[in-house]
Structure 1
Amino acid sequence: MTRLPSLSPDKPAPRRAHAFTFQRGDVLAGITVFLIALPLCLGIATASGVEPFAGILSGIIAGLVVALLSGSRLSVSGPAAGLVVIVAQALATLGSFSAFLCALLIAGAIQIGLGAIRAGKLASYVPTPVIHGMLASIGILLIVSQLPLTLGLSNGAPSWVVMGLALASFAILLVWDTRALRRFAWVRAVPAPLAVVAMGIGATALLGAFAPDGSLPQAQRVDLPAIGSFGMLSAVLDAPDLTQIFNPAVWRVAVVLAIVASLETLLSIEALEKIDPAHQKVPPDRELKAQGVGNMLAALVGALPITAVVVRSAANVQAGGRSRLSCVVHALALVVSVVVFTQIINMIPLACLAAILVHTGYKLAKPQLFISMGRAGCSQWLPFIATVAGVLATDLLIGILIGFGVSVVLVVKRNIGRVLTLTRDGDHYLLTVRKSATFFCMPRLKDYLGQIPTGATLIFDATHADHIDHDVREVVASYTAAATANGIRVDFKHWPAH
């Protein structure tokens, strides 16, 4: 009789093999995310007007702290291009990076508070046109702020070398994801920003070796400090100026940071749920708390604001990431890069990083977006363009509020138009009330009542009304009292009693 082999001794082996494959996939995904994150961390910091190390530090905190506290196993956080404009404007307003860090500390506390009161779902109440308008305006401001760097105008006069590097960077970014190049495995393996950075490093090396007169000065390249010990590290860390905590301008920046960073985070995790193979639901309130802790820690050590980022999260999924290990690996790779490869990173031209951000801004504010919003009708176009115009004319917070206000006005107007209708049959008029008749209906109600001629019969039909405000009742009662004297007969159908 043939005996079946026992399965119990074989169980550990498949588990170990699966665990190895699982971890190897996460490690490879983490390295891929690192290759995307490194140039973006450097570019976002430079564009924000702070030291490049602040951007790297944000990526490290995001991978080692936020990823472990988050409810998402695949979301990747870090400095985001969408916050560049806020940071740059805040530095100009507050006058110092330490004052800005105080605002960031408060913003992180606000995010934790939002998570504690379960405000994570509030983002779903922000109209889509307002969100698109916010992102489009950020894209426009990003392009405007970075174009001078791509033209080499940082010192006033244009630099042909810098312009050449920027044009080469744009060319790479535009063609890298085309079908013709995606046929090659090495193109698919290398992210476009990394290809731009590699080209810039190569160009810097060639210029230094063969054309020293045309080589890029350090002012036009990344300038990371050498970190060889904890003493050197402590020397480059910044701390918040807590004496600014009662400054109203600091609190205004904090509120803007908290709102925009939270919106971007919640939108990112919503997008991630759609591309996650397991379609894991991410608790929004836990995510806000994790981001808040990360931003408070970032403020204490002198890093940039942190938010969940769609591009890096999508890259993590596409590269095979399956757990939080990929985020940790990406953060550890950032640590190694600033400790071991500082000299190589310092060869990256700022023009290449500026080109990456201009391209990012273009993707946020594509002409197709404006066309599609216009084709969607006034209900979409007006809040969208109001948000864009409001942000460009004032700032992000006011612009968002303007767009939201326009959306509310359009919704109220649309609902009012459906509450009251007036129909005529000979000398009989039927005024139908539907849904809730509030004080918003007063102008239209008075207009309809003014159209009833002498000798006519007016019927008020509230059969399908859910609620009628006291103000509306008063207007109808006053009209009814005066109607007989004007030769108008008034009847009521299902009119609720006071």
Structure 2
Amino acid sequence: MLGTRVSAFLKLSKRDLKYDLPASIVVFLVALPLCLGIAMASGAPLFAGVLTGVIGGIVVASISGSALSVSGPAAGLTVIVLGAIQQLGAYETFLLAVVLAGVIQLVLGVLKAGMIGNYFPSSVILGMLAAIGITIILKQIPLAFGMTETHAFEVEDGGGIAAFTNTIFSSINWGATIICLLSLAVLIFWPSFKKLSKIPAPLIVVILGVALGFAFQGTSFALNPDHFVSIPVVSSFAEFKGLFIFPDFTQIVSKDVWVVAFTIAIIASLETLLSIEAVDKIDPFKRNSPTNRELIAQGIGNMSSGLLGGLPLTSVIVRSSANANSGGRTRQSAILHGIWLLVALLAIPTVINLIPLAGLAAILLHTGFKLAKPALFKQIYKKGLDQFIPFFITVAAVVFTDLLTGVGIGIVVATFYILKANMTNAYQFNIVQKEEADMAVLTLAEEVTFLNKAPIQQKLYNLPKGVKSVVIDGHKSKFIDKDVIDVIKDFEQNALSKGLSIELNDVTYKQKPLNGNFRLKKQKLQKVV
């Protein structure tokens, strides 16, 4: 009975399990190194990264209404987390900020603030996806070639191109390179074998990587210890309990804690809403995720993560896109991926540590290419420059800055094109040829705002030669801004003084009466025959 109730709450589906189970394995394989890498980049314990992935999978996915979204530690928050830990002075104090950030997100969800994600232009969302794909590729290239040390590219003594090239080639591990190239070949060609494609290609990549890692031992292709996944190994329940860190609630009155909490809450919420919007676009069933419910789920997830010693989490497009591309159907795949992370941490850490990073890099390179494939650029270009330019600038801005800055720049550019289109689509202008004289007919659009003032004014005061009469028709308009009304009135006086015949038809504008309520009022300004 209890199992039935739990299943009903989570809306688990046995029918979709055949799709969600293999997808969950793929997402697990992608999420594991990302959880560890983000924790390391954030200056947090590695266990905290895996714990955040577990909570993002089991807790958040159980509450979320998104079918394909996968939550976990986000790369976009690493700089903020690293700075916050250093600023607050103790990891326990930082955890309190994470808990408070979760509370803030929960309040935002209850207040139905999730609708803000619907106002992001699709060109910007697609640009964000492509940029993330490019970023993934760039970050995985060193691991693909086994170059795990950052100083591999440094040339201190000069030597020009030759020295630089020699340094690069001397730092390449050819065993890792072979594993990555063969893994890419598997990922590309394995699905074309219909009888074999039921087995997930990334799973074959992992098995291949482990086998080659053993085969290369004792040869010139041997991998170093830092070429493998590394997660904490616990041998007892006491050791497992010792991995958890708890927040310091004595610092709740600290101003710095609240500043960090609000910063994390706002940025994590925006990243989540952007990711949810992007995930819905790549969902083959085109389902619409409830954003307010997602904010509530994220808030509960961050509260749980902070209470147990984890990092702040968001909906993450990398894992979500891997979920969609692997055939995931429902949130079962996200929940299962969290369970696999927990099982890997507890039961088979030594086995997981046998997986070469080069094989996982190949999985991410393949995912990144799918997000930023050349066909997408071509497709957006065919839609017109008003779509392509915001898309391309978003891609460049995200790649060269960060996610939120890049998206912000993309929105500014997209807004410029929206306003430009709005200004030019405010009216239709036609010249009617008549025997005695030409007549200009300016038909106003359904909505005419103050942004349309300049183009309408320019069109009226620059009439073609030979026009002796003007008709301004507002019968289609539901709203005309008062600034535009003033332009029309001024033009009417100017036209009459020049001997032009002008006819003004129905004009709709918003008027504010004494009671303070807004209503629509139609007014016939004047008709001159």
The normalised TM-score by structure 2 is 0.74
- 8 Å CA contact 1:182, 1:188 repeated in 2: no
1:293-308, aligned counterparts within 5 Å?
293-300=300-307, 301-303=309-311, 305-307=313-315
Q: Residue 492 of structure 1 aligns with which residue?
A: 504
Q: Residue 145 of structure 1 aligns with which residue?
A: 139
1:258 to 236, 246, 269: 269
Matched, 1:354 2:361: yes
1:40 to 30, 33, 45: 30
2:70 to 59, 62, 77: 77
Change over 3 Å in CA distance of 1:436–1:63 after alignment to 2: closer
Inter-partner Cα distance in structure 1 for 2:365 and 2:314: 20
Matched, 1:226 2:233: yes
- Per-residue CA distance 1:301-354 (angstroms, 9 max, x = gap): 224624272533675756xx8x85x76554444323222222222222223323
Q: Residue 129 of structure 2 aligns with which residue?
A: 135
Matched, 1:182 2:193: yes
Inter-partner Cα distance in structure 1 for 2:342 and 2:36: 19
Matched, 1:374 2:381: yes
Inter-partner Cα distance in structure 1 for 2:469 and 2:15: 78
Greater percentage in helix: 1
Cα offset, 1:370, TM superposition: 0.8
Q: Residue 4 of structure 1 aligns with which residue?
A: none
Q: Residue 192 of structure 1 aligns with which residue?
A: 201
- Per-residue CA distance 1:360-380 (angstroms, 9 max, x = gap): 222211111111111121232
Change over 3 Å in CA distance of 1:468–1:296 after alignment to 2: same
Q: Residue 422 of structure 1 aligns with which residue?
A: 429
Cα offset, 1:25, TM superposition: 7.3
Inter-partner Cα distance in structure 1 for 2:100 and 2:23: 29
- 8 Å CA contact 1:140, 1:365 repeated in 2: yes
Inter-partner Cα distance in structure 2 for 1:388 and 1:168: 30
Cα offset, 1:136, TM superposition: 0.9
What one-letter code is carried by the residue in structure 2 that aligns with 1:117?
Answer: L
- 8 Å CA contact 2:102, 2:299 repeated in 1: yes
Inter-partner Cα distance in structure 2 for 1:41 and 1:100: 23
Inter-partner Cα distance in structure 2 for 1:284 and 1:273: 19
Inter-partner Cα distance in structure 1 for 2:183 and 2:370: 15
- 8 Å CA contact 1:47, 1:146 repeated in 2: no
2:341 to 316, 320, 334: 334
What one-letter code is carried by the residue in structure 2 that aligns with 1:401?
Answer: G
Gaps of 5+ in 2: 153-167, 508-522
What one-letter code is carried by the residue in structure 2 that aligns with 1:36?
Answer: V
What one-letter code is carried by the residue in structure 2 that aligns with 1:357?
Answer: L
Inter-partner Cα distance in structure 2 for 1:195 and 1:240: 41
Change over 3 Å in CA distance of 1:194–1:54 after alignment to 2: farther
- 8 Å CA contact 2:57, 2:72 repeated in 1: no
- Per-residue CA distance 1:3-24 (angstroms, 9 max, x = gap): xxxxxxxxxxxx9xxx9xx998
Change over 3 Å in CA distance of 1:128–1:101 after alignment to 2: farther
- 8 Å CA contact 2:394, 2:409 repeated in 1: yes
Cα offset, 1:31, TM superposition: 5.4
Inter-partner Cα distance in structure 2 for 1:359 and 1:110: 36
Question: What SS does structure 2 have at the residue aligned with 1:423?
Answer: strand
Q: Residue 487 of structure 2 aligns with which residue?
A: 475
Inter-partner Cα distance in structure 2 for 1:398 and 1:180: 37
What one-letter code is carried by the residue in structure 2 that aligns with 1:61?
Answer: I
- 8 Å CA contact 1:439, 1:471 repeated in 2: yes
Worse-superposed segment, 231-240 or 416-425: 231-240
Q: CA RMSD in A?
A: 3.8
Inter-partner Cα distance in structure 2 for 1:416 and 1:76: 38
- 8 Å CA contact 1:107, 1:258 repeated in 2: no
Matched, 1:461 2:473: yes
- 8 Å CA contact 1:59, 1:77 repeated in 2: no
Question: What SS does structure 2 have at the residue aligned with 1:465?
Answer: coil
- 8 Å CA contact 2:273, 2:291 repeated in 1: no
What one-letter code is carried by the residue in structure 2 that aligns with 1:41?
Answer: A
Inter-partner Cα distance in structure 1 for 2:360 and 2:467: 77
Q: Residue 447 of structure 1 aligns with which residue?
A: 458
1:365-404, aligned counterparts within 5 Å?
365-404=372-411
- 8 Å CA contact 2:174, 2:221 repeated in 1: no
- 8 Å CA contact 1:104, 1:257 repeated in 2: no
Inter-partner Cα distance in structure 2 for 1:62 and 1:412: 39
Cα offset, 1:283, TM superposition: 4.3
1:194-213, aligned counterparts within 5 Å?
194-208=203-217, 210-211=218-219
Q: Residue 291 of structure 1 aligns with which residue?
A: 298
- 8 Å CA contact 1:161, 1:214 repeated in 2: no
Inter-partner Cα distance in structure 1 for 2:195 and 2:476: 65
- 8 Å CA contact 2:147, 2:172 repeated in 1: no
Change over 3 Å in CA distance of 1:394–1:181 after alignment to 2: closer
Inter-partner Cα distance in structure 1 for 2:467 and 2:351: 91
- 8 Å CA contact 1:36, 1:312 repeated in 2: yes
Runs of at least 4 residues of structure 1 off by over 6 A? 22-30
Inter-partner Cα distance in structure 2 for 1:328 and 1:478: 65
Gaps of 5+ in 1: 1-14
Q: Residue 10 of structure 1 aligns with which residue?
A: none
Inter-partner Cα distance in structure 1 for 2:325 and 2:376: 21
Cα offset, 1:433, TM superposition: 1.9
Cα offset, 1:188, TM superposition: 2.4
Question: What SS does structure 1 have at the residue aligned with 2:475?
Answer: strand
Change over 3 Å in CA distance of 1:399–1:336 after alignment to 2: closer
What one-letter code is carried by the residue in structure 2 that aligns with 1:486?
Answer: K
2:322 to 285, 299, 311: 311
Q: Report the count of equivalent residues.
A: 463
- 8 Å CA contact 1:225, 1:342 repeated in 2: yes
Cα offset, 1:413, TM superposition: 2.5
- Per-residue CA distance 1:139-187 (angstroms, 9 max, x = gap): 12222222222233333345677344244324323433536752343x5
- Per-residue CA distance 1:380-432 (angstroms, 9 max, x = gap): 21221122133234332232223223333323322332322333333432232
